[in-house]
Amino acid sequence: MALDIVIMAAGKGTRMKSRLPKVLHRLAGRSLLDHVLATTAQLEAHRCWVITGHGAEQVESAIAASAAQPVLQIPQLGTGHAIQQAVPHLAEQGTTLILNGDVPLIAAATARTLVQACGGERLALLTIELPDATGYGRILRSGDAHGGRVLGIVEHKDATPRQREIREVYTGMMAAPTAALKRWVAALSNDNAQGEYYLTDIVAMAVAEGVPVVASHAADETEVLGVNSPLQLAELERRFQLRQAEVLMETGVRLADPARFDLRGQLTTGEDVEIDVGCIFEGEVQLGDSVRIGAHCVIRDARIAAGAVIHPFSHIEGATVGAGSLVGPFARLRPGAELGEEVHIGNFVEVKNSTLAKGAKANHLAYLGDATVGERVNYGAGSITANYDGANKHRTVIGDDVHIGSNCVLIAPVSIGAGGTVGGGSTISKDAPAGQLSVARGKQVVIAGWKRPVKALKR
């Protein structure tokens, strides 16, 4: 049976106070709409349609890499009007699942259950009971019992005071027999307070036709919460992050404070991993056994091997950290940084597109770019590789057991032979031999009788 999915994404989101379309605002590093598309990708739908309107070009660009296709709604005259635009693209038979682009955390299992409740024959509404139902459409049932037949939905702004006391609400998501859905939305009227075509009016049409209307209950309030303001976005972010933190802690990860943790991608962890407060993980990050992450680190697309310690305020992106290595505090590993086992990268050290072999150390105020560093190298404070000539990047090769003194400049391309020593303050522009001391600096001169300038007296 064909499954069509329609995602509502045409709204402006006036309360967001932003030029960015509401569905493109980010939650956990991804747009709200992208979260929904990730869910629909798990449902094996025949086709997926995204209703665009406000900021249509931006939304269309955002979905270009997905299997979803845009359908333009101009002007925006309500949810029923949005589905009217999609009708020509839907299959003749089967089920149509309607989701909201600003309700990002709907789970695939919940959406699948909703489709099953429809079964191509019934109108299935996704509902939930909320302690504060302000703003939501209320589910009207026969009698007072919760299990009474569903008769319709009344929008909050059109509800009577007694109807507003109802706690069971419509989440804005439904699954309907496609053929019936086409018939119902064609008959919609805009005779209401807002002059809009409400999709919810099809419930009464289904009841009138004798088509069963069923409620599929969402188990978790978080997955049906929508975003209409920066405050709601921030609240949903914290809910989502707490959920992710709890999953990690259930696997054994020790989080110093789950309320101060942000995962904006995928995090894979070994045993006995410890993460301090304020850390942000983006992209795909792997942490081996017994890894410790200090406070306020930002780690993106990185692999950190067993026993490594990342001290506070370090930034790591596109890098690999070997087992037992120490990084930071205040260190930066840029893309292409590959640290071997037991490497030490200290405070205010930056490494880019460089490999450091086992036991190498750069402990203070240094830069290594486009370098190959051997085992047990000691790289002095204030030293840098001058790897860029203004047009091209060049490589520096430092052999095993080399000692680079403080405040040195290694002008690439250049090699320092194994066991060599570079004296502090040297500027090395030619290959330095193995096992030798290389010094390249001006001769110290003492000028007798020189006097330091003094300030002139003010008159």
Active site residue 315: no
Q: Residues 46, 217, 296, 364: which is the catalytic one?
A: 364
Q: What is the 3-state secondary structure (H, E, C) of the chain?
A: CCEEEEEEECCCCHHHCCCCCHHHCEECCEEHHHHHHHHHCCCCCCEEEEEEECEHHHHHHHCCCCCCEEEECCCCCCHHHHHHHHHHHCCCCCEEEEEECCCCCCCHHHHHHHHHHHCCCCEEEEEEECCCCCCCEEEEECCCCCCCCEEEEECHHHCCCCHHHCCEEEEEEEEEEHHHHHHHHHCCCCCCCCCCCCHHHHHHHHHHHCCCEEEEECCCHHHHCCCCCHHHHHHHHHHHHHHHHHHHHHCCCEECCCCCEEEEEEEEECCCCEECCCEEEEEEEEECCCCEECCCCEEEEEEECCCCEECCCCEEECCEECCCCEECCCCEECCCCEECCCCEEEECCEEECCEECCCCEEEECCEEECEEECCCCEECCCCEEECECCCCECCEEECCCCEECCCCEEECCEEECCCCEECCCCEECCCECCCCEECCCCCCCCCCCCCCCCCCCCC
User: Which residues are designated catalytic?
Assistant: 364
